[in-house]
Amino acid sequence: MKKVTLTVLASAALIAGGVIAAPHAHAQQISGVNTAGVYMYRLYNPNSGEHFYTENIKEDQNLVNAGWRFEGIGWIAPTKGAPVYRLYNPNAGDHFYTTSAAEKSSLVKAGWNYEGIGWRSGGKTPLYRAYNPHATAGSHNYTTNKAEENSLVSAGWSNEGIAWYGVGGGIGAASGHNYVGFVEDSNNNIFGEALFTNLNEAFNWAKTWGAAHVTTDSGWAEAQQLN
């Protein structure tokens, strides 16, 4: 399914903006306004078995359009904290994430590509890391769900402990809240977002919230279909 994005300038003088797509019944906001951190989008590649995590909504859109499955919000990452490094293995087509600078350097020496800081670690919500010794791609899984971690360990994965921390837990795609309304500044920094079951509801919330909280014409209210 092709995803839809709605955007409008979110200045303090904003009154209304164009919207498309008829709203679904019983649209509902979940988890309130997320201003403490950023949503981390979790995707799955059914061909390679890899789970991928990103805070970039546009990267999420590109991967879904390429056939990846949107699985929901993996967790909420803080805006400040210890860096989580993102690396890519060009031979296996696999990503790896770590807070360890030594582990990062070791993988780079082994031929992995360093892709920069993916997000930040901080808060009280642990992200558990599990390793599948039999997989080439998708060999690591990261989750806030202890039951998911235990299930993988029971299936033969190795428990590698806590990888990093977030400021909030995950929200699965099965909840139906697969539309995000958000407000970002001219530098693409998101400073307010919330999940909805409906694109119009997400967009209208972003416009209203943005008009109330943006004091210059440098902010944009947007809505994005995630799946």
Beta bridge partners of 98: 85
| Separation between Cα atoms, residue 68 and residue 56, nearest integer Å | 15
Average pLDDT for the chain: 79
Per-residue model confidence (pLDDT) at position 99: 97
Per-residue model confidence (pLDDT) at position 13: 34
Angstrom CA distances, 154 to 60, 74, 132, 133, 149, stand at: 30, 21, 11, 14, 9
| Separation between Cα atoms, residue 10 and residue 192, nearest integer Å | 12
Q: Give residue limits of the domains in the chain.
A: 5-33+174-225, 39-172
Q: Check whether 16 has a pLDDT greater than 80.
A: no
Amino acid at 99: T
Confidence class for position 163, pLDDT limits 50, 70, 90: very high
CB 170 within 8 A of CB 139: no
Per-residue model confidence (pLDDT) at position 104: 97
Q: Check whether 75 has a pLDDT greater than 50.
A: yes
Q: Check whether 173 has a pLDDT greater than 70.
A: no
| Better pLDDT: 2 or 197 | 197
State mean pLDDT over 58-75: 89
pTM > 0.95: yes or no = no
Sign of torsion, CA 114 117 122 127? negative
Q: Check whether 118 has a pLDDT greater than 90.
A: yes
Confidence class for position 35, pLDDT limits 50, 70, 90: low
* CB-facing half-sphere around the CA of 95: CA atoms within 13 A: 20
Per-residue model confidence (pLDDT) at position 198: 73
Instruction: Tell me the pLDDT tens digit for each residue of 120-143.
Output: 999 999 999 999 998 878 789 999
